[in-house]
Structure 1
Amino acid sequence: MRRIVLLLLATVLAIGNFAALMSVVPLWVASGGASNAWVGATTGVMLGGTVAAQLCMVWILRVWSLQRVFAVGTLVLGVATPAYLLTSAVGPVMAISALRGAGFALVVVAGVALAAELAPPGRVGTATGMYGAAAGLPNVVVLPAGVWLSQTWGFSPVFLGAALLALLGVPLAMLLPATDHAGRSRPSVRGMSRGSVVALVTFFVTTASLGTVLTFLPLSATEADRASAALLVLSVAMVLARIVAGSVADRYGPGRLVVPAAMCCAVGFVVLALDPALDGWLVLAGAAVLGAGFGLAQNDSFLVVLRSLGARRSGSASTVWNIAYDGGMGLGPVVVGAGLALTGYAGAFAALTALLTLAAVVALLVGGRSMGTDDISPAS
């Protein structure tokens, strides 16, 4: 139990750095005069760095334990963050964001794999749900607080505070057990079931939508307090949904919630589209529904992939799942930011609704029950 607690505390601090700046960095470059396309690109480049680092996990996990990967990633986040204070110009911000993205990749791949490794027998869903709650907790407090602080006190306290969070997590990460039997085997996606591929693609679409919301909501809302409140509501819903999804998976098996989660997200965007100015109470309702959908999709899709690849390949499962997660988070804002001049926020939300609905229908028709445990044979 002590090892799980250490992992959860280190996760809160490391991902607190990421969450604090998720919506603040776009505001930072916007304050320097960047267009919507460049604002969206800041998130895309950061998560592009994340995916690039995740693709290197094939080699990293051969030589480093999961504990060392987690610790190095936390250190990179802490050291790189203060560099934002040097300039709000797009080029340097992109470079810093890409480096932070690489550090974030190491943290999330090692973190969720460690959660699966340290879980008691038969409680993998619950353990990953707890990890997901710890990973989501910074979004509840730090993400909306970062937006409010940057618009009230300025950007410097946010950047310095985020750096301190990550640096405090480094010694905790060093105390984690050097559990590495999953890392000694080469990460591979061979043996993934059709259901797990469908779950990953559906999850990719939901994360593209999430990245769009986190990037543009603070810019699109006419009231800063309403944007912060919406991000808070969204984050609370995500945390609660991840805990629920873990318990459901342990009891009924993974894969039951992927399609309902995508539809839940679609409904959330419908609600947001009804209030294009994002200045009424509908934005809070839409954020709550979106957060619930994202939380369900996060935990359930990972467990589907883990079940498909097998418990001894948790490093591989974490790597491919995180590539889908961060690839979607990065691509969504880039595409939406490039098209905002034509669609406006209401049009963008309507397009995301249609995309999520299509993904859910395809997942239901192609994946069907193969996303559930009844039709998945764990890889050896």
Structure 2
Amino acid sequence: MRARVPVMALTAAASAGVAIFFTLYSLIPVTRGEEAGLSSLFAGTMMVFVMGVQVFTPALVRRFSLRGVLIASLLVLAAGALLTGIASGTAALLAGAVASGSGFGVLIVAGAQGVALLVPPGRLGRALGTYGLVTMASSALGSPAGLHIALTFSSQVFGVCAVAAGLIAAVASLGVPPGVGKAGTSTPASASGPRGVPALVSGAPWLVLAVLLVAVVLLSHGLSSLPVLAAAHGSAAVTVFAVQVGNALGRGIGGELEARITTRATLIAGVLLLAAGGALGVATGGQGAVITAGALIGLGVGIVQTVTLHTAMRRMDSGRASVVWNLAVDGGLWAGGVLWGIAIASGFVVAGALVLSVLLLGITAVAVLRLPGHGDR
């Protein structure tokens, strides 16, 4: 049990950060939607810094240790949430976006890297699945709770609550041993990784990451254009919740499946569920079909996320794998946000979902053929 305490502490700390971030992602559209363009400016700025700082995270862990980076990133994220909550002008709001994005970008890479640093390779697949399950469940539950606080009381009260949650998470991070990940400690050198952009991407499983990117674009459909279709049945919120819960469950199921069957079979299972959800949601009508499609999309992409992260960590050191994996996820969310916005405006949601589902199946077929034929459990 004692050996599990650091992983539990890491997971609890990261989960609090994920809940804060995804509340912020929805906060400005919900609370200040009447100010034209403000929500897009805030979200765009925040995501630029989320992606911009990720590449530096392994070096920060080498320099300051996993525990130090977790604590610092949580405090920066909490400060950004407070600034966002109390901001009245655009400049202060964007400062909150910069701080929140920077803190979360470092936290999310360090969290996945930390699992690999704390868990033996033979248990890593299951551990990554459990970590993903808990963190995504915190998003599904914590984000609505945060928005409820902001709407029931005020954005300022949410900011104060976010600081309290960040401080509690920082204290939880103390459960991670102090020297983990720091250069010159007993942490294996492979866990820290080489420096420089060419070294960062060296050995990356590009086809597997391409599967992840397209899968996340379909996830974006489940969180944006599919709820638009569901709104006709009055079930937009239920559809989003089905996607989020399915995603959390898929992260955990992915780790268990890979441990019991193979990487290839697990990846195929996740992609088939995801493609089925993408097609079902637009090819058939009815409230039940749309909600089921949302659950299938979430479940499938969760499985794909876990198995692709584990695959990347088998090919690369944990720090670099976490960086390229998170960049693929964030790139998919960005691309999805743009593409599905265009599809909604132009009436191409049905065609887009069907084409993307077929594209995902094709890329996966190529990626599966390129996976090693042995040792892929």
Per the TM superposition, whether the score is higher than 0.5 is: yes
- What does the per-residue CA deviation read over 1:206-261, in whole Å, with 9 as the maximum and x for residues that have no partner? 22333454466777764998443333322222222111111222233434333443
Q: Post-superposition shift, 1:107?
A: 1.1
Structure 1 equivalent of residue 76 of structure 2: 76
> Residue 284 of structure 1 corresponds to which residue in structure 2?
291
Deviation, 1:349, is: 5.3
Q: Are the equivalent residues in 2 in contact too, given 1:85–1:156 (CA < 8 A)?
A: yes
CA gap of 1:43–1:273, structure 2 versus 1, over 3 A, is farther
Whether contact under 8 Å (1:65, 1:183) holds in the other structure is no
Question: Which runs of structure 2 are paired with 1:82-121 in the superposition (5 Å)?
Answer: 82-87=82-87, 93-121=93-121
Q: Structure 1 residues 219, 348: CA separation in 2 closer, same or farther (over 3 Å shift)?
A: closer
Distance 1:223 1:354, change over 3 A: closer
Aligned residue number for residue 24 of structure 1: 27
**One-letter code aligned to 1:123:** R
Counterpart residue type for residue 129 of structure 1:
G
Distance in 2 (CA, whole Å) between partners of 1:280 and 1:369 is 37
The one-letter amino acid paired with 1:355 is L
For residue 275 of structure 2, what is the amino acid of its counterpart?
A
| 1:124-165 per-position Cα deviation (integer Å, ceiling 9, x unaligned) | 111111111121121231234445555666655544433432
Task: Work out whether residues 20 and 158 of structure 1, in 8 Å CA contact, stay in contact via their aligned partners in 2.
Answer: no
Matches within 5 A, 1:29-40: 29-34=32-37, 39=39
Which whole-Å CA distance do the structure 1 matches of 2:56 and 2:314 have between them? 23
Q: Comparing 84-93 with 21-30, which one deviates more in the overlay?
A: 84-93
Against the structure 1 CA distance between its residues 354 and 15, is the aligned structure 2 distance closer, same or farther, given a 3 Å change threshold?
A: same
2:309 aligned residue? 302
Q: TM-score, normalised by structure 1?
A: 0.82
Paired with 2:191 and 2:233, the residues of 1 have a C-alpha distance of: 44
Q: Identify if the C-alpha distance between structure 1 residues 266 and 294 changes in structure 2 by more than 3 Å, giving closer, same or farther.
A: same
2:249 alignment partner in structure 1: 240
Question: Could you tell me how far apart the structure 2 residues matched to 1:100 and 1:223 are?
Answer: 35
Unmatched tracts of structure 2, length 5 or more: 182-186
5 Å matches for 1:176-325? 176-177=176-177, 178-180=179-181, 181=187, 184-186=192-194, 188-189=199-200, 191-192=202-203, 196-211=205-220, 213-214=222-223, 222=231, 226-273=235-282, 280-309=287-316, 313-325=317-329
Equivalence for 1:336: 340
Q: Is the 8 A contact 1:31 1:88 kept in 2?
A: no
Assess, with a 3 A threshold, how the Cα gap between structure 1 residues 256 and 91 changes in structure 2: closer, same or farther. farther
Aligned-residue sequence identity (percent) comes to 23
Q: Quick check: 2:80–2:98 contact (8 Å CA) kept in 1?
A: no
Cα distance in 2 for partners of 1:295, 1:23 equals 21
Q: Which amino acid aligns with 2:253?
A: V
Q: Find the aligned partners of 2:374 and 2:162 in 1 and give their Cα distance.
A: 44
The one of 11, 14, 17 aligned to 2:17 = 14
User: Which range is displaced more, 203-212 or 266-275?
Assistant: 266-275
Q: So what's the TM-score if we normalise by structure 2?
A: 0.83
Which shows bigger deviation, 209-218 or 2-11?
209-218
Q: Is the 8 A contact 2:133 2:248 kept in 1?
A: yes
CA contact (8 A) 2:226 2:294 kept: no
Aligned to 1:47: 47
Show the counterpart of 2:361.
Answer: 360
Letter aligned with residue 279 of structure 2: V
Q: Measured at CA, do residues 244 and 94 of structure 1 come closer, stay the same or move farther in structure 2, by a change above 3 Å? A: same
* AA partner of residue 108 (structure 2): V
Deviates more, 1:251-260 or 1:83-92: 83-92
- Tell me which of the two structures has the higher relative contact order, counting C-alpha pairs closer than 8 angstroms and 6 or more residues apart: 1
Measured against aligned partners, the alpha-carbon deviations of 1:73-123 in whole angstroms (never above 9, x if no partner) come to 111111101222345777754553343122111111111111122114511
Q: Gapped runs of 5+ residues in structure 1?
A: none
Amino acid at match of 1:271: L
Supply the distance in 2 between the matched residues of 1:137 and 1:326 (Cα, whole angstroms): 19
Q: Distance in 2 between matches of 1:141 and 1:51?
A: 24
Q: Give yes or no for contact 1:269–1:286 (8 Å, CA) kept in 2.
A: yes
* Maintained 8 Å contact 2:133/2:251: yes
Deviation of 1:168 (Å):
1.7
Classify the secondary structure of the residue corresponding to 1:186: coil
Given the superposition, is the C-alpha separation of residues 4 and 101 from structure 1 closer, same or farther in structure 2, using an over 3 Å criterion?
Answer: same
Q: Which moved more, 1:158-167 or 1:282-291?
A: 158-167
**Contact 1:14/1:166, CA 8 A, preserved across alignment:** yes
- Contact 1:133 1:242 (C-alpha < 8 Å) held by counterparts: yes
Deviations 1:252-283 (A, max 9, x none): 3434333443343333233333589xx93333
Taking the aligned partners of 1:95 and 1:272, their CA distance within structure 2 comes to 39
